[in-house]
Amino acid sequence: MFSVHTLSIVFEIIIVILGLGLVVFKKNFIGLGIALTYGIYAFYDIAKYTYSNISQCSLYGLFFIATISMLLVVVGIYRKS
């Protein structure tokens, strides 16, 4: 069954691709932070969804990195404005 959780993972992966597209085609390096953040979100969700053997501590560390990455993206957007 195609759940909302699965759909969320698909959207996260699409956001990663679009973020990388910002970097490659528009030379906007904020896209790199977006891609990193949502790549981590997708990895985190897949790990939780598949009941992988990745330690909870590692997943929390990755989630923290994603949070810092998005904070830097927002700061970068404010600086550009």
Classify 21 as helix, strand or coil: helix
Q: How does residue 1 score in pLDDT terms, banded at 50, 70 and 90?
A: low
Supply the DSSP symbol for 59: H
pLDDT(80) > 90: no
Report pLDDT for 2.
72
Region 40-51: mean pLDDT is: 90
Rounded (10°) CA dihedral 3, 6, 7, 8: 120
What amino acid is encoded at 45 in this protein?
A: D
Please give the Cα distance from 62 to 10 (Å, whole number). 19
Q: How does residue 49 score in pLDDT terms, banded at 50, 70 and 90?
A: confident
